[in-house]
Amino acid sequence: MENKIRVSNLNFFYGKAQALYDISLEVPEREVIAFIGPSGCGKSTFLRTLNRMNDTIPIARVAGDVIIDGENIYAPGTDVVALRRKVGMVFQKSNPFPKSIFENVAYGIRINGIHTSKTDLNERVEKALHDAALWNEVKDRLNTSAFGLSGGQQQRLCIARALAVQPEVILMDEPASALDPIATQKIEELVVELKRDYTIVIVTHNMHQASRVSDRTAFFMLGKLIEYNKTEKMFQNPDDRMTEDYITGRFG
């Protein structure tokens, strides 16, 4: 299978403080990759290097290469807006806009100018809501406020908003950590469904979630990538003792 993302010797700094150390890994196309590890180990920081979200932090600095589809996203002249359209992001806390359900999904389509008509816009919004497994729940209330949705529905709306601009990669930073078990299950089922069309990288604190949804797992500790392997291997027979100790709950 083709690699969608290849990271080589990545180091990351907040000012003088180093947060990530010499990370290299490859992400195959249309797989789900889970990042696990204790709080503060660099999972979310690394996730954000994959679409340059850390650029918004003035003292942040990156060294190394992140290659997506053969192009280094940190090369001079990179169109960061186009990059973030290609590599979408879903955050830990659902963050719908103070708009209607329809306008939340239509927003990115409008600002990127990727629709050709009102009918095309409507079809794109409907498809994104279908793809986020939300259409049947909201199709009769598209013009009502997104804030009227439950927490789980709001998170799926944010996923629909990310899907609407036709990304190729979706980054998810603990997308179910604030949700109840039923809403969490829906998000997990959705992740497995979405990998038919997208490459997905997900940060999770939930070991069971990582084992259920991911094809490969990366274990981080103190800013270092300790082990990266197929999920089944990681959870049944990890190569590194530290990985085994973390997965079995001896620390973290």
**Domain residue spans in the chain?**
3-247
**What's residue 112's pLDDT?**
86
Query: Percentage of the chain with pLDDT > 90?
Result: 88
State the Cα–Cα distance between residues 13 and 89, nearest whole angstrom: 21
Give the SS3 label for residue 183: helix
To the question of pTM greater than 0.75 for the whole model, the response is yes
pLDDT at 14 over 90: yes
| Three-state DSSP state, 114 | coil
Degrees, nearest 5: CA angle 64-60-203: 75
Question: Span 3-247: which CATH code?
Answer: 3.40.50.300
Residue 252 pLDDT: 61
pLDDT at 80 over 70: yes
Please check the confidence at residue 113 and state whether its pLDDT lies above 90.
no
User: Average pLDDT for residues 48-69, to the nearest whole number?
Assistant: 95
Q: CA–CA separation, 221 vs 215, rounded Å?
A: 20
Q: What confidence category does residue 179 fall into, taking pLDDT thresholds of 50, 70 and 90?
A: confident
pLDDT band at 27 (very low <50, low <70, confident <90, very high): very high
Per DSSP, which regions of the chain are E strands?
A: 3-14, 17-28, 32-36, 60-68, 71-72, 87-90, 169-173, 199-203, 216-221, 224-230
